[in-house]
Amino acid sequence: MTSLPGTLRTAAGEINVERPVIVGVVNATPDSFSDRGDRSTAGSIRQVEEHLANGAGIIEIGGESNVTNRPAVSPGEEIDRILPVVSAAAEAGAIISVDTYKPAVAEAALQAGAAIINDISGGGNLELMGVAAEAGAGVVLMHTVVEPKTQRWDEAAYPEGITAHQLAFFEERFETLAGLGIGRDQIVVDPGPDFGKTPAQTVDSLRGLPELCGLGCPVMLAVSRKDFIGAINHRRPSERGPGTFAALAFGLDCGGRLLRVHDVAGTRDFVQVWESLRGELEVDPALRIAEEIRREPAKGDV
């Protein structure tokens, strides 16, 4: 495997990406496709606190769902949704990524303490990328061939092969961003599961992760609860945890290191076992299991 980058440069300084970094998703929006929890501002702030307590290394806050059956919200409304959450996360000492494709939202979030912009429009908006460049922010560059909040399933969309298409897409974007002053050490590559892809095309794109990991940028595994998992397992979003962990395991073995997930505590436990079995996390020879957690309590003992 090509040597993977050790750091990601952001507006909050460098992040160590040699080991897996859990990116905890906070949907500060009432219409998330996968999360039916408390989406109020107070609820989103509580989720930030829970994610940090459970081991998230980055908090990603979004104020507009990508569901295709809802219209886009205005930049002002999106700012109103996320800014209190960004401010609270910054006060808690979090490294913050903001999921937006709107320049005004990105600028407001960066001024409030965000360090990374996750652009689901694919990095083609030069005004947005200019805002990120001016702030010295990290950029998540997601592969997509569709506009935000739209879907297209076309089995003939990638005649050259989806991985070849993605490699050319990212190289072109790297060149454009370099002209704005954004270097590869600031860029995260995201293959964009489900964005402009059928479930089968998403599977093919993830099979190409070893090649994407050779681009010299950290790779984000944004597979949590995605449609391709539901299509394979025939499960609703809330039931896609096992499939998510399987996709994360595959992606980690390919070299992906940023794990964008909804279930931070479960992902932390998964990563602990994964690293232990690989010898990347030291296991004490005297390791034993405490009696109180060895077995489930007998009925009536709780």
Q: Is 226 one of the annotated active-site residues of the chain?
A: yes
Is there a domain that residue 93 lies in? Answer: yes
Q: How confident is the model at residue 30 (pLDDT cuts 50, 70, 90)?
A: confident
pTM of the model: 0.94
Residue 3 domain-assigned (yes or no): no
- Which domain range does residue 140 map to? 16-294
Selected catalytic residue, list 102, 226, 240, 257: 226
User: Does residue 299 belong to any structural domain of this protein?
Assistant: no
| Per-residue tokens: 278 | 């690989």
The model's pLDDT over 180-220, given as tens digits with 9 standing for 90+, comes to: 999 999 999 999 999 999 999 999 999 999 999 999 999 99
Question: Is 2 within a domain?
Answer: no
For residue 66, the domain's CATH number is 3.20.20.20
Please state, in angstroms and rounded to a whole number, the distance separating the CA atoms of residues 226 and 236: 10
- Residue 260 annotated among the catalytic residues of the structure: yes
Confidence of residue 37 (pLDDT cuts 50, 70, 90): low
Residue 222 in any domain: the answer is yes
Could you report the per-residue pLDDT of 231-271, keeping only the tens digit for each? 999 999 999 999 999 999 999 999 999 999 999 999 999 99
Q: Is residue 282 part of a domain?
A: yes
* 147-190 pLDDT tens trace: 887 888 889 899 999 999 999 999 999 999 999 999 999 999 99
Alpha-carbon distance of 191 to 21, in angstroms, equals: 17
| pLDDT tens track for 70-81 | 788 999 999 999
DSSP state of 57: S
Q: Within a domain: residue 34? A: yes
Give the residue among 116, 102, 121 at the shortest CA–CA distance from 63.
Answer: 102
Annotated catalytic residue, options 260, 278, 288, 295:
260
Say how many domains are in the chain: 1
Is position 1 within any domain? Answer: no
